[in-house]
């Protein structure tokens, strides 16, 4: 369905240190715009057939979080530059792909095709999209007035071949604007963080974002309990300091750095806490003196699993945990400067010059290795590490 990549000059994140989590419907919205490209087939020639957007998956997943009363995992678009959305294989991207397929399996999904070939006005024996839409409105309003958000299928296409231009959103409130017109407030996957509204117009329905729609229908939806997935810090400007206990998330898989026995892995959760100690000088006394110092690009650190004394080390078999290992990791901050909670960083083993990265493996537990500092070597600070 219709997607919209976030503009390159968008503000990276407006959340400031100490700010509270979003509340109400906004908490269920994802922090990146719907800029997905779905490869549905690969031809023998190697050419790929793709569709744009996962608005259905994002809308279904947002409504899942609304029903469950839990916020959606926080993954700002800036972490996924230049793509601006989590890549396939990321926990959130794969969740949205599953819910996208669920939205297509719904009986009402056929309306995206049938309504796309109908006229706007009634042309007996055909009923037009405008009349069909107004027939849907009472059911939508009853649900919204009862506090039950609904998924709406927005129709703009004229013809089956353009049905991919249609869209899905979550309507969560209805009221009247200053002129008395009905107004629907929606979570729109194309506009994260915005209160988008829809109002009736002579030629259909117009959104506060300027988009015009021929009409809409109430899309069938079956709730699912959303999985508890880790999210990035909502305090992107917070400085990372020596002595902090924090979770580390692998940006390109969405998983948290953890231990499986003595092996280093990334897993969906819970988020392991790691104490970051400055490694400029050896010795306990100097480490204590360094505690609280802001860390930045080029600083050398040791990573200790909080409360266990197990440090991240590079064993012959790969990254592992060992009691009080002396391995040092250099922090490479994207763009240089201080290490902040919202930064993308690489952790480079000073003894080998190889970056901590994640390889492919079983979905619940990916192995951590070292290698070239490519896209699979980006890390960021987690929202909530476990004690």
Cα dist. 225→4, 64, 240 in Å?
A: 27, 6, 34
Closest CA to 240 of 287, 313, 286, 299: 299
Beta carbons of 373 and 356 less than 8 angstroms apart:
no
pLDDT at 290: 64
pLDDT at 38: 72
* pLDDT tens column, 276-302: 999 975 544 455 456 789 999 999 999
Residues 6 or more apart in contact with residue 44 via CB below 8 angstroms: none
Spatial distance between the Cα atoms of 156 and 329, rounded to a whole number of angstroms: 53
pLDDT at 291: 73
Helix segments in 244-338, DSSP class H: 284-290
Q: What domains lie within the chain, and their CATH numbers?
A: 24-219 (no CATH), 245-381 (2.80.10.50)
Q: HSE (CB half, 13 Å, CA atoms) of 350? A: 14
Does the pTM surpass 0.85? The reply is yes
Beta carbons of 280 and 289 less than 8 angstroms apart:
no
Beta carbons of 152 and 218 less than 8 angstroms apart:
yes
Radius of gyration over alpha carbons of the chain, in Å?
24
pLDDT at 197: 98
List beta partners, residue 315: 318
Residues 6 or more apart in contact with residue 364 via CB below 8 angstroms: 267, 268
Q: Pseudo-torsion of CA 59, 153, 103, 225, nearest 10°?
A: 40
Spatial distance between the Cα atoms of 379 and 146, rounded to a whole number of angstroms: 43
Point out the residues of the chain with pLDDT beneath 50.
4-19, 49, 283-285, 288
Closest CA to 35 of 16, 61, 8: 8
pLDDT at 13: 43
């Amino acid at each position: 369905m219709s997607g919209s990549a976030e503009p390159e000059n968008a503000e990276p994140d407006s959340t400031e240190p100490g700010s509270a989590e979003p509340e109400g419907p906004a908490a269920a919205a994802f922090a990146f715009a719907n800029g997905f490209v779905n490869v549905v087939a690969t031809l023998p020639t190697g050419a790929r057939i793709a569709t744009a957007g996962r608005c259905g998956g994002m809308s279904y997943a947002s409504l899942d979080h609304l029903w469950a009363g839990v916020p959606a995992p926080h993954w700002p678009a800036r972490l996924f530059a230049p793509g601006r959305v989590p890549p396939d294989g990321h926990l959130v991207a794969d969740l949205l792909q599953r819910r996208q397929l669920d939205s297509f399996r719904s009986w009402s999904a056929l309306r995206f095709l049938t309504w796309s070939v109908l006229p706007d006005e009634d042309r007996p024996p055909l009923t037009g999209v405008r009349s069909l839409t107004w027939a849907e409105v009472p059911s939508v309003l009853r649900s919204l007035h009862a506090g039950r958000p609904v998924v709406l299928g927005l129709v703009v296409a004229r013809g089956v071949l353009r049905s991919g231009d249609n869209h899905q959103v979550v309507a969560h409130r209805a009221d009247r604007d200053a002129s008395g017109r009905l107004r629907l407030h929606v979570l729109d996957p194309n506009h994260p963080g915005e209160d988008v509204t829809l109002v009736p117009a002579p030629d259909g329905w117009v959104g506060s974002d300027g988009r015009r729609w021929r009409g809409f229908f109430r899309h069938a939806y079956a709730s699912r309990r959303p999985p508890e997935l880790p999210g990035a810090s909502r305090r992107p400007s917070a400085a990372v300091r020596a002595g902090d206990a924090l979770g580390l998330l692998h940006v390109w898989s969405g998983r948290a750095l953890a231990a499986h026995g003595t092996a280093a892995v990334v897993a969906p959760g819970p988020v392991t806490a790691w104490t970051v100690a400055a490694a400029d000088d050896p010795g306990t006394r100097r480490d204590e003196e360094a505690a609280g110092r802001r860390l930045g690009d080029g600083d050398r650190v040791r990573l200790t699993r909080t409360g266990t004394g197990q440090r991240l080390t590079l064993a012959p078999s790969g990254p592992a945990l060992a009691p009080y290992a002396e391995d040092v990791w250099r922090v490479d901050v994207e763009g240089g400067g201080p290490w902040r909670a919202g930064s993308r960083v690489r952790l480079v083993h000073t003894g080998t010059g190889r970056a901590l990265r994640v390889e492919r493996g079983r979905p619940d537990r990916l192995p951590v290795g070292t290698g070239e500092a490519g896209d699979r070597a980006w890390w960021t600070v987690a929202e909530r590490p476990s004690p």
